[in-house]
Amino acid sequence: MAAPPLLTLQNVALTFGGTPLIEQADLAISPGERTCLVGRNGSGKSTLMKIACGLIEPDKGVRFVQPGTTIRYLAQEPDFSGFSTTLDFVEHGLTHGDDAYRARYLLESLGLTGAENPASLSGGEGRRVALAQALAPEPDILLLDEPTNHLDLPAIEWLEAELKSVRGALVLISHDRRFLSALSKTTVWLDRGITRRIEQGFSTFEAWRDAFFEEEERDRHKLDRKIADEEHWLRYGVTARRKRNVRRLGNLHALRKDRREDRRPVGTATMTSTEAESSGALVIEAKNAAKAYGERRIVDDLSIRVMRGDRLGIVGANGAGKTTLINLLTGQSAPDSGSIALGTNLKMMLLDQARAVLDPSMTVTEVLTGGSGDSVVVGGVSRHVIGYLKDFLFAPEQARTPVRVLSGGERNRLLIARALAQPANLLVLDEPTNDLDLETLDLLQEMLSDYSGTLILVSHDRDFLDRVVGSVLVSEGEGRWVEYAGGYTDMVTQRGQGVEARKSATAPRPDGKVKPGRLASTSAAPAPKTKMGFKDQHELKTLPERIAKLQTEIAKHRAVLADPQLYSRNPALFQKTSATLAAAEADLSAAEDRWLELEMQREG
């Protein structure tokens, strides 16, 4: 018999400023459960999580917590006031019986000493300290609101592994698809104030959501047709002319009321880039470039070519020097030695992670128009600023809103809107995915896929890197940067691990320096070569056939799930097919990785 839920929300509702934010939300968290809470930016996810942990009282509904249950909540903006060190802040969350050593262990695992002054922490450091405080007591329920924000890839992967070992229940809000897919077993979708739940992890959610929207749109069309039929009867029916059928007329009024009160999904952003004339074939060429600050080498002996149309991802731990590297590659700073040449006819647009170009005192309109007029030129065409803002999900009344009151996601959308309005054939995007919801991430990905210019992308989002870039430039430590073909997952396969600096060095040159190459096979120190055995040779020969079969199987499952009525007609079949599809996709990924590994071994 299943254990009763530790925490329950039933029919919860909350209204802010006359507008219902949450209308009918249910949430049940059982011991050890792994739940992701998903929904558009502004849908009320963070508010629902605050209701769950008791920080906000709903207008109506029931919140019940089993006696003795401990709950910890990770807020997006923790309050460090009153604490002299980071260790004090983390230990403040411990209670009698908790392991006091765990506070120091978590801080050290996250790259902190515990002696830092909380008032001087960066955004990423503050997030690490808040995570340590939430994890230290090992609570029964852990509520995490965007835990990966401001974390670098090593910290994200450490957190993912740490949360897998947590014995308590987890509720996660995140825009990181890879993170949610790895940790969630149940999905709760908050959409237009109502929660819907599926007993599947995030990996199956998007297919289910799309099918739900398609079925909803069909129901809306049916309602429209029914209203049109009733209105035709009202005007032209013989019976209607003789005497009004009161009951039928009442039904028509009820249908019209349903149509008026129907809440459509929140609109989607429309992203199109303004492209300049094509640049020259060679965009950037670095030859033995080096840059250091004091004795610390940021870039050492880097040689790389970026050609027109390339999509280069840059990854590394915080502090590895990604911003310095971008400044070198884009000509904003000069190397200490070596050379960096920029191609001809370059028109560059830089999206700064720090959002330094956003003046908090300026209004949204002023950011886009430069403070003059109410029009913005996009792709050579003048558009009214309000119409352009609607493309990025801003309401007309936000046109005069100061930047300082915008949320993180709104600021990032505004920055992207500003960047895409300016002609460019080289886009340099530094962490563009911060604070964006999943649907907006999809549109940004589609825009970048259609972009014919050159792209340099810095990101900690593994899934986004896999979808967008064609090669990845990775920090190997001590100023060494190595380029790998493919996305983030391909890089991990070739390199053998994630972005943390490897302990083994690449083969030294006679002068003692390391020469990084374009691919791991030419730059990383390979393991001693061994002759392929018969078993490996047979596996390499048969893998293409297995991959083809898996691709066919996946296509069949996707065709079944494409039926928008499947979930309402046969939920069991939908869940079974979704689970089988997820397993087949995992098998395909593993088979492709194994084929690449064997092929590299054969060619080595």
Is residue 149 within 8 A of residue 173, CB to CB? The reply is: no
Is 42 assigned a ligand-binding role in the annotation? yes
What does the block give as tokens for 278? 């094509």
At a CB cut-off of 8 Å and minimum separation 6, what does 414 contact? 358, 364, 367, 368, 392, 394, 403, 406
Is 345 assigned a ligand-binding role in the annotation? no
Torsions phi, psi for 64 (to 5 deg): -130, 130
As a whole number of angstroms, the distance between CA 443 and CA 137 comes to 39
Which residues, in sequence order, are bridge partners of residue 53?
none
Nearest to 415 by CA among 365, 357, 347: 357
Is residue 136 within 8 A of residue 98, CB to CB? The reply is: yes
Please state at what angle helix 246-261 crosses helix 205-236, rounded to 10 degrees. Answer: 150
Nearest to 553 by CA among 595, 511, 581, 582: 581
Is 268 assigned a ligand-binding role in the annotation? no
Rounded to a whole number of angstroms, the distance between the first and last alpha carbons of the chain is: 55
Is 521 assigned a ligand-binding role in the annotation? no
Torsions phi, psi for 324 (to 5 deg): -60, -40
Is 322 assigned a ligand-binding role in the annotation? yes
At a CB cut-off of 8 Å and minimum separation 6, what does 553 contact? 584
Is 226 assigned a ligand-binding role in the annotation? no
Q: Angle at CA 111, nearest 5°, toward 109 and 112?
A: 105
As a whole number of angstroms, the distance between CA 371 and CA 375 comes to 10
As a whole number of angstroms, the distance between CA 306 and CA 323 comes to 17
Is 323 assigned a ligand-binding role in the annotation? yes
Q: Which helix (H) or strand (E) holds 349?
A: strand 348-351
Is 169 assigned a ligand-binding role in the annotation? no
Is 515 assigned a ligand-binding role in the annotation? no
Is 320 assigned a ligand-binding role in the annotation? yes
Is residue 245 within 8 A of residue 268, CB to CB? The reply is: no
Is 44 assigned a ligand-binding role in the annotation? yes
As a whole number of angstroms, the distance between CA 159 and CA 320 comes to 19
Is 479 assigned a ligand-binding role in the annotation? no
Q: Where are the alpha helices (DSSP H) in 451-570?
A: 462-468, 488-495, 520-523, 534-561, 566-569
**Mind giving me the DSSP string for 52-81?**
HTTSS--SEEEEEE-TT--EEEE-SS---T
Task: Give the sheet arrangement for strand 348-351, strand by strand.
Answer: 348-351, 426-430, 454-458, 311-315, 471-477, 480-485
Is residue 179 within 8 A of residue 151, CB to CB? The reply is: no
Is 390 assigned a ligand-binding role in the annotation? no
Is 496 assigned a ligand-binding role in the annotation? no
Numbered residues of the known binding site: 39-46, 316-323
Numbered residues of the known binding site for ATP: 39-46, 316-323
